[in-house]
Amino acid sequence: MSSVEEINLFTTRNTGNIAPASLKTLTRRSLLTGLSMALALGCSLPALAQEGPTLTVGISTPVNQLIPHSVFQGTMPWIHTMYDALVFWDGGPTPQLAESWEMSEDSRTLTVKLRQGVTFHDGKPLTAQIVVDNLTWATDPANNVTGNAFLKTGTFTAVDDHTVKLEFPIPAPQILTVLAVLPIMDLTSDIVSQPNGTGPFKLAEFIPGTSMSYVRNDDYWDKDRLPDVARINFPMYPDNASLMAALSSGQVQILAFPDFRQLSVLEGQGMQLVSQDPPGNWMLRFNAAEGSAVADPRVRTAISYAINRPVFSQLMTGGKSTPTCSHFPPASPAYTPEIDEACEYNLDKAKALLTEAGFGDGLTVEYLAGSVRQPELTGYVPILQEDLAKIGVTLAIEDLSSQALGDRVQQDNFQVAGDWYPWGIFDPAVFFIGPSFAPNNLSNFTDPAYLDMLTAAQSEVDQNVRIELYKDINRYLAEQNFIVPIGTRPYIYAVRPEVTGFGLDPFGMAFYNDVAMP
């Protein structure tokens, strides 16, 4: 396989080379079918222990609690094991815990009918009030839920035990996409370490920062998608090198988010590289708060001019990343090609902007790197450091653990940090539900004009007009550059050749219902 693009799983339940049913002599599903027939005939059967293979998925981002918010590479490999959402995104919204829904003509009211007969892992039935409680919980900023700024404008009502009404003051065309990344939890359970979900697997063991294990939920509501895998283990590795070794030796069968610089090695070993259309970009995140060394947009744009994006793509991703200056990636309906046509590596323009901003004599900028969280960006930063030195900028690099890097950004204790962002290929409004571009963003960027533009685009019901408004916002983001895109960032999992049926949704979250192993 010559490129990630050849293994496109944008159609989310395309699971690759799955063995035909005729080649499976006895699967979990066929066994259950036989048992059901026997019970229907009145046969008495002894209790059976779970049967099926054990799958091991190695991850390098430590997991210290099991609340599935927000969506990032520490949660993406396991959210679909334990949790379901109201809808599943399969090139568009498809029913999951919601059996059906109806949107009002003004796109302000969504009425959801829940699937009946769904239970949590402890047997508790799913009700409309539980869904309302989850939606209300998601509106609390302290809970760090993706889409919080949008959801907190809504009003949620349990009409009856199986009907939920969501009402918003302005049109909400992105609501179904938001619901697709809002796992439904039993909020009365210990959601940090012993959560209760409705998913195809249930928690067996959790050792924070070390490992977690799930066993198949044989009472799963979707009988057509009962997994054959009986257990999934998620060991957490301290670095990418040890995780690569574990994959090569067969200790793990799937590696979540391998270092892009090692993809050619993995392909040479016969590993499958499973991916989908890049939903977002690698980026530099700037702290735009007043008083910050990078508060002036001219300084941020100067640093953008000093980024040699083609070099980053070739050296750090093997060409798997497409260089870009557009905040919306090329697969987005709000992508504006002229931004990339003007995108360039130009130290002369960078120096001129610094002089204009009053830094002609130079300045020092602190950069937070993460060798585990973002090995590709961390590998490129010394090159950027050399280029910035040519225009008088001293880049002071501090390499941190994934946890420490996230904490520093959350605490506003940073100037520049490397990271990546998703959400770019869906309804453009979804792009602004995450912490990178929401009005209350991690960059501390504020501008009444920005909020007005977002409100106008959100409120527009004509789809063609909406897209043009979001393209205008994309141009505005390219001027402000509180986030500086570098290149597209596909989500890639490395899978051993004997594993079939592994798939991703468009958000990069894994699902294991169809996995088969010898």
Residue 60: DSSP 8-state: S
Q: What is the pLDDT of residue 32?
A: 45
CA distance 479 to 482: 9
Q: How far is CA 241 from CA 372, 466, 470, in A?
A: 10, 45, 41
Three-class secondary structure of residue 405 per DSSP? helix
Beta bridge partners of 9: none
Query: What is the band of 141 on the pLDDT scale with cuts at 50, 70, 90?
Result: confident
The pLDDT mean for the chain works out to: 88
Q: What is the pLDDT of residue 375?
A: 87
Beta bridge partners of 420: 282
Q: What is the pLDDT of residues 98-133, one digit of tens each?
A: 999 999 999 999 999 999 999 999 999 999 999 999
Asked if 316 and 261 count as a contact pair (C-beta separation under 8 A), the reply is yes
Q: What is the pLDDT of residue 70?
A: 65
Query: What is the band of 40 on the pLDDT scale with cuts at 50, 70, 90?
Result: very low
Three-class secondary structure of residue 68 per DSSP? coil
Q: What is the pLDDT of residue 71?
A: 64
- Residue bearing the bigger pLDDT, 240 or 103: 103
Asked if 183 and 83 count as a contact pair (C-beta separation under 8 A), the reply is yes
Q: What is the pLDDT of residues 317-340, one digit of tens each?
A: 999 999 999 999 998 999 999 999
Helix (H), strand (E) at residue 101: strand 98-103
Q: What is the pLDDT of residue 4?
A: 28
Phi/psi at 156 (5° precision): -125, 135
Task: State pTM to two decimals.
Answer: 0.77
Three-class secondary structure of residue 348 per DSSP? helix
Asked if the peptide bond before residue 193 counts as cis, ω within 30 degrees of 0, the response is no
Q: What is the pLDDT of residues 410-452, one digit of tens each?
A: 999 999 999 988 888 888 888 887 789 988 899 999 999 999 9
Q: What is the pLDDT of residue 309?
A: 98
Burial class from Cβ neighbours inside 10 Å (0-12, 13-18, 19+) for residue 246 reads middle
Domains by residue range for the chain, with CATH:
4-20+52-80+199-277+492-511 (3.40.190.10), 84-180 (3.90.76.10), 281-488 (3.10.105.10)
Beta bridge partners of 273: 494
